[in-house]
Amino acid sequence: MGSLGAILKHPDDFYPLLKLKFAARHAEKQIPPEPHWAFCYSMLHKVSRSFGLVIQQLGPQLRDAVCIFYLVLRALDTVEDDTSIPTEVKVPILMAFHRHIYDKDWHFSCGTKEYKVLMDEFHHVSNAFLELGNGYQEAIEDITMRMGAGMAKFICKEVETIDDYDEYCHYVAGLVGLGLSKLFHASGAEDLATDSLSNSMGLFLQKTNIIRDYLEDINEIPKSRMFWPRQIWSKYVDKLEDLKYEENSAKAVRCLNDMVTNALVHAEDCLKYMSDLRDPAIFRFCAIPQIMAIGTLALCFNNTQVFRGVVKMRRGLTAKVIDRTKTMSDVYGAFFDFSCLLKSKVDNNDPNATKTLSRLEAIQKTCKESGTLSKRKSYIIESESGHNSALIAIIFIILAILYAYLSSNLLPNKQ
């Protein structure tokens, strides 16, 4: 759960955090008994706990297909991300990965921690993949082939222009959006979304991750990973790594804001994609990460901490997003609130201020035109002071009761 300090500052985070904790335990108990499926679902929870929670809401067949799709692409991404693999070894693996998923004996040792386990034990993923329906297998193979080829292309090519940036993000994330749309359609639950909207769903998430992960990527050993396009960063510094130095903080923040403004162009497409979904479980599966993305952009905007450490939403707010995202009106409300937060941080002296404000106003207009904003209470925009002391006292009482209960049940009885 969240830290005690965070809960005291945001006491209404406690209940969603508690629900999230129990949901995580429940999800772990739902792991199938078959060894290959047990490995896949256990690995899913290790590489992405939040994704592992949201996926549990999908129907059984679609859930299995999305689980395997995610792990296959995570394995492909592990090969791409490992900067210790020589190019002449890496490129052929990326290009042939779509064939390896049919090979029950194939594995390749790379990556670290849980990702190394995934690669070493990849035969479990292949075995599970081969049990999926033909429609699911074909969709996963197609996207894996296209993504591997795109990744291989950018192993030998730097991200120079904004068009390069969009192309790279299409290969590593837009294709995920296309693949998921195909899986949703193959399940019979949804109409097939357009490639353009599906692509935007992936690009919005990927660009958010690239912005947030600047410091981790630039400090990668033995070789930096550089995804910010030269067309943007060269307006502010001579080398991309210069953004992390304190003497360049003012330039770094302007560059960061330029990157966030670029990402915002996909938000309206995302809202359109989500508004077309019919299945409640698929809707939540898609909507929660998108809200997390615009929330992360709002936190990163104008924030020098992006170049000093990790910037992410507090766990309590994440728990609220997971708990309270049920309908499209919840999505409109969250996008509106986070765009308001972002808008409040725009400096009129920023060279991109006009463009940033224009994109935020377009998002807000779409949300307002939904006609749902007045029907909900915001959990995102909140007062930083004046928290109800009685509520804090109640939380301490609940914690004390829980502690007493757990202690009486876990400690051995004295004879």
Which residues form the catalytic set? 168, 212, 225, 285
Q: What type of residue is 137?
A: Q
Tokens of residue 361, six digits: 């106003």
Count other C-beta atoms under 10 Å from residue 80's C-beta.
23
CB 291 within 8 A of CB 321: yes
Tokens of 190: 């949804």
What is d(CA 278, CA 330) in angstroms, rounded to the nearest whole number? 15
Q: Determine the distance from the C-alpha atom of residue 44 to the mean position of all C-alpha atoms in its chain, rounded to a whole number.
A: 14
Rounded to whole angstroms, how far apart are CA atoms 91 and 150?
Answer: 10
CA-CA distance, 55 to 64, in Å (whole number)? 9
Place of tokens 């590489």: 47
Residue type, 147: M
Note whether 267 and 363 are within 8 A (CB).
yes
Separation of alpha carbons 27 and 42, rounded Å: 10
